[in-house]
Structure 1
Amino acid sequence: MNINREQLEGAVKENIISSQQANQLIAFFKQQPEITPKFDFTHVLYYLGGMLAIGAMTLFMNLGWESFGGLGIFFISLFYAAVGLKLTNHFKAKGLAIPAGICGTFVIALTPLAVYGLQQALGVWPDESVYRQYHRTIKWHWLYMELSTLAVGVIIARKYKYPFLIMPIAVTLWYLSMDLSVMIYGDENSWQLRKVVSMYTGLLMIAVAFYVEVRSTSKADYSFWLYLFGVIAFWGGLSSQSSDSELAKFIYFTINLGMIFIGVLIIRRVFVVFGAIGCCGYISHLASNVFKESWLFPISLTLLGLFVIYLGVLWQKNELAITEKARSVLPDTLRKLLAAKHRL
């Protein structure tokens, strides 16, 4: 749990610790380097500024940059990358992990632009597409940009070891899976293929994130971005599948329920959020199509909601016993990891 000043003052009033000890603890906590993001104004400014800079070189890149030509784009990208690395080292030296990680991520995000410019300069760009389409369309020749981004991302992540550096790597892996599928199978039936590839790529990313989490001994959460984009890829591919079968839709509902359970078990909210959205989507389908003429359905759904609230009360009362029972079937390493993460 997060400890604040009011809680420490409450412990002083209960004579658990002295006032001097409370002040010493506060001073100690403030001296610790911040390796995890918080929802405060400083961190909001960090991420807002970082995403503006990264977005300018990626999602919001316009056609005006084409006037610089391939060589111009390449050298401008190198200049920006040098500035990004300089800032990364500067913030690292000052112990500012969050802005250092954001600046390192900016360098990784510049890699596909630099490779695009180099390909244009060498005259090996295969068609009339431009860089601004990189994040919006699927093409086989993005592969050089993606593989280069992964290589640079791994190098920088190994050097600086900030969790946010995993974000562009996770996104690029997702892009790479889509482009590889089109390269191998062609553009025919590409939409259906993309949905399937997205789903299985998401599962693979979730598995990698789980492995990273189990193996990591650092307090930094290196698996967060892998989990996030893995769940998005899996859930997005799963939810976009079309079927007229009510059984298939019910299976979709049970998978989303399973995601909620997994999220609670491994303490990952992203599973719970997307699982809940999927469950609500299925219930909406029932209300709009299957039981649209039934006056009993809203009443039944209300009773079900109240029952779920009751289950929540029972869970709160018996959470520790239920959690320990559920985790008893897991391997020792994983059980110890989850126990260490569990917040009372």
Structure 2
Amino acid sequence: MKLTRAMLDEAASQGLLDEGQAGRLWQFLQEREQHTPGFKPAHILYYLGGLIAIGAMSLFMTLGWETFGGAGLLFISICYIVAAIGGVEWLRARGLLLPAGVLAAFAVVLVPLAVYGLQHVLGLWAQDGPGGYRDYHYYIDWRWILMELATLAAGAVVLWRYRMPFTVMPVAVTLWYMSMDLTDMLLGGSGFFSREGKIISAVFGAAMTLLALWIDLRNRSSKDYAFWLYIWGVVTFWGALSSMGSGSEFGKLVYCLVNVLMIGVGAALSRRVFAVFGGFGLAGYMGHLSYSVFRDSLLFPVALTAIGMAIIAAGVFWQRREAAIGAALRQWLPDPVRTLVERRAA
């Protein structure tokens, strides 16, 4: 529900609160909204500028930077990090928390470049390893592990110091990278693309998702620290699960049921990422049934339409009795999970 000033004025006119309370409440909500990420022009500019800067020093890093050598890359990255942290402090002092969070994330993104330069200075970079820093974001290789561990450590320190949710983004992406590189280290060569590698990746993604849930359960503030971990955890888990394939229809049915469960979890936790990827998986399974199992059936589209209408009817039934059904279902949940579901629903 979106609260407007007109709604507060109407409540004041009905004697539910006086005009002074309505004004103070509205001022509080406006100030709080400024620090809540949303689709606002200023916020779009913050994130757009931050993502361009982050991309420039990561995904879009050119090979020309290798000419600076290890010492040059280390010096440049340290200068950038110091400047970014200085910008964070300056913005925080003025109450501009969103752009401060973007700059803090930018500082964390620079850590792999600094470690890469340091490894070259110390002569620790394997000569038979990847070609250069640019490959860090494009190729799977166990030699990136030290850079990833340093990034996780730096991200933890920055998050502890500033308590800004966007700084979790580079940490979550690094965990995603690590899931691939650790698999490569354990299985060797192209092991990541083997069935065992996909299983390890799915387990890693599930662990990231459970970590996000644990953070959600412990978080009592209005800041969403679990958002990015949910996204990359679900992407890692669902991507690995969807790439496994199955030689039997039973295996494909299990895959469908997992996606249906993800949609249910997304609805319960108010996390759209579960519902989005669960919907993709469910659509893929329906496509398989249509093009493979029932390709010559005249009744399959009719049956599928009936199922869709039944789901809509279930939605209508749920909406009319949502409070009673929700309360009954929540009684089966552990107390911390029930508290989280009720808080997210509110």
Provide the TM-score with structure 1 as the length reference: 0.95
The residue number in structure 2 matching 1:121 is 121
**Is residue 35–residue 220 contact of structure 1 (8 Å, CA) maintained in 2?**
no
Deviation at 1:22, TM superposition (A): 3.0
Answering whether residue 305 of structure 2 is matched by residue 302 of structure 1, we say yes
Give structure 1 stretches of 5+ with no counterpart: none
State the SS of the aligned residue for 2:292. Answer: helix
> Counterparts of 1:188 and 1:104 in 2: how far apart (Å)?
35
Cα displacement (A) at 1:268: 1.4
CA shift digits 1:274-293 (9 cap, x unpaired): 11111111111111111111
Aligned to 1:218: 221
Does 2:240 correspond to 1:237? yes
CA drift at 1:16: 3.9
- Map Cα deviations across residues 11-32 of structure 1 (whole Å, 9 max, x no partner): 3565544544433322222233
In the superposition, relative to structure 1, how do residues 10 and 336 fare at CA in structure 2: closer, same or farther (>3 Å)? same
Q: CA separation of 1:242/1:340 partners in 2, compared to 1, >3 Å: closer, same or farther?
A: closer
Residue 4 (structure 1) shift = 2.2
2:43 alignment counterpart: 43
Matches of 2:244 and 2:6, distance apart in 1:
50
List aligned pairs for 1:171-250, cutoff 5 A. Answer: 171-192=173-194, 193-250=196-253
Match of 2:79 in 1: 79
Distance (Å, rounded) in 1 between the aligned partners of 2:10 and 2:276: 33
1:53/1:106 contact within 8 Å kept: yes
Match for 1:337 among 335, 340, 345?
A: 340
Whole-Å separation in 2 of the counterparts to 1:7 and 1:304: 40
Say whether residues 1:270 and 2:273 are aligned partners.
Answer: yes
Q: Structure 2 CA distance, aligned partners of 1:103 and 1:252?
A: 40
Q: Please give the secondary structure, in 1, of the residue aligned with 2:137.
A: coil
The answer for unaligned runs of 5 or more in structure 2 is none
Task: For residue 255 of structure 1, report the CA deviation from its aligned partner.
Answer: 0.4
User: Contact between 2:180 and 2:201, CA under 8 Å: does it hold in 1?
Assistant: yes
Q: Distance in 2 between matches of 1:241 and 1:14?
A: 60
Secondary structure of 1:38's aligned partner: coil
Match of 1:155 in 2: 157
AA aligned opposite 2:143? H
Q: 2:167 aligns with which of 153, 165, 168?
A: 165
Partner of 2:138: 136
CA root-mean-square deviation:
1.7
- Per-residue displacement from partner, 1:190-213 (whole Å, max 9, x unpaired)? 312432222111110111111111
What does the per-residue CA deviation read over 1:247-274, in whole Å, with 9 as the maximum and x for residues that have no partner? 1111100000001111111221111111
1:156 Cα offset (Å) = 0.7
* Corresponding position of 2:107: 107
The 3 A distance-change label for structure 1 pair 134 and 108 is same
Q: Secondary structure at the match of 1:240?
A: helix
Q: Secondary structure at the match of 2:180?
A: helix
Q: For residue 250 of structure 1, what is the amino acid of its counterpart?
A: L
Aligned CA distance change for structure 1 residues 342 and 78 (closer, same or farther; 3 Å): same
Q: Comparing 105-114 with 300-309, which one deviates more in the overlay?
A: 300-309
Identity among equivalent pairs (%): 45
TM-fit CA distance, 1:153:
0.8
Alignment match, 1:94: 94
Q: Structure with the greater relative contact order (CA < 8 A, sep ≥ 6): 1 or 2?
A: 1
Task: Indicate conservation of the 8 Å contact 1:213/1:222, yes or no.
Answer: yes
Whole-Å separation in 2 of the counterparts to 1:45 and 1:188: 40
Contact 2:151 2:171 in 1 (8 A): yes
What is the Cα deviation at residue 305 of structure 1? 1.3
**Distance in 2, Cα, partners of 1:314 & 1:190:** 45
List per-residue Cα deviations over 1:168-226 (Å, max 9, x = no partner).
Answer: 11111121222122212211543124322221111101111111111122221111111
Which residue, 327, 330, 342 being the options, matches 1:327? 330
Deviation of residue 71 (structure 1)? 1.0
Q: What is the CA distance between 1:5 and its match in structure 2?
A: 2.5
Query: For the residues of structure 1 that align with 2:101 and 2:66, how far apart are their CA atoms?
Result: 29
Between 149-158 and 33-42, report the one with greater CA deviation.
33-42
Supply the distance in 2 between the matched residues of 1:273 and 1:261 (Cα, whole angstroms): 11
Q: Which deviates more from structure 2 when the two are superposed, residues 24-33 or residues 11-20?
A: 11-20
CA distance in 2, matches of 1:310, 1:229: 33
Residue identity opposite 2:7 in structure 1: Q
User: Partner amino acid for 2:224?
Assistant: D
1:45-72 CA distances to partner (integer Å, 9 max, x unpaired)? 1111110111111111111111111111
Match of 2:11 in 1: 11
Distance 1:2 1:333 in 2: 27
> Conserved in 1, the CA contact under 8 Å of 2:87 and 2:103?
yes
Letter in 1 for 2:58: T
Distance 1:52 1:236 in 2: 26
CA deviation after TM superposition for structure 1 residue 124, in Å = 2.2
Q: Which amino acid aligns with 1:156?
A: V
